[in-house]
């Protein structure tokens, strides 16, 4: 299940309870568009999510922007320390994919309007990691 960053910060304690209940049923929880809103790193830890999807606005420019590379790498490093998996959104081409892979990312869904350049993370198919909604 995915929760957008904007929803996650509306009532952090209610969302945390909801996440906990879902995880008790075996669900894996992703926070979507991380970096686009106002979620602090403290709230990221408090939410207890399994996966962080880094907002594509930062990812799409990592081949050209040192600032975006720094932001993405910092988030990857923090998530790794918190044992949260990371997903790079909007991987548009092989250059961006190469940078993302060099930073340690292994799953790269592309932008919604383009074919996906996907690489399965954690040695399982993408559909297993992030199943499509039915």
The predicted structure's pLDDT at residue 16: 84
- Tell whether 46 is covered by a domain: yes
- Tell whether 134 is covered by a domain: no
pLDDT category of residue 38 using cuts at 50, 70 and 90: low
State how many domains the chain has.
1
The CA angle 48-1-85, to the nearest 5 degrees, is: 50
- Tell whether 59 is covered by a domain: yes
Q: Around 40, how many Cα atoms within 13 Å sit in the side-chain half-sphere? A: 4
- Tell whether 132 is covered by a domain: no
- Report helix, strand and coil shares of the chain as percent, to nearest 5: 45, 10, 45
- Tell whether 91 is covered by a domain: yes
> Has residue 119 got a pLDDT over 70?
no
- Decide: 50 and 17 in contact? Cβ < 8 Å: no
What would the pLDDT profile of 63-118 be if each residue is shown by its tens digit?
Answer: 999 999 999 999 899 889 989 999 888 888 889 888 988 998 866 665 555 544 44
The predicted structure's pLDDT at residue 64: 94
Mean pLDDT calculated for residue range 29-34? 80
- Tell whether 133 is covered by a domain: no
The predicted structure's pLDDT at residue 3: 64
CATH code of residue 61: 3.20.20.450
Query: How many residues are recorded in the chain?
Result: 134
């Amino acid at each position: 299940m995915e929760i957008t960053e904007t929803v996650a910060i509306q009532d952090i304690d209610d969302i945390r309870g909801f996440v906990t209940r879902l995880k008790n049923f075996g669900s894996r929880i992703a926070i979507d568009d991380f970096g686009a809103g106002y979620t602090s790193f403290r709230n990221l830890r408090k939410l207890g999510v399994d996966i962080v999807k880094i907002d594509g606005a930062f990812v799409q420019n990592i081949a050209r922007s040192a600032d975006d590379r720094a932001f993405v790498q910092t988030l990857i490093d923090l998530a790794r320390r918190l044992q949260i998996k990371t997903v790079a959104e909007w991987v548009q081409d092989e250059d961006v994919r190469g940078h993302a892979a060099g930073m340690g990312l292994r799953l790269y869904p592309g932008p919604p309007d383009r074919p996906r350049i996907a690489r399965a993370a954690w040695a399982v198919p993408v559909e297993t990691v992030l199943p499509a909604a039915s």
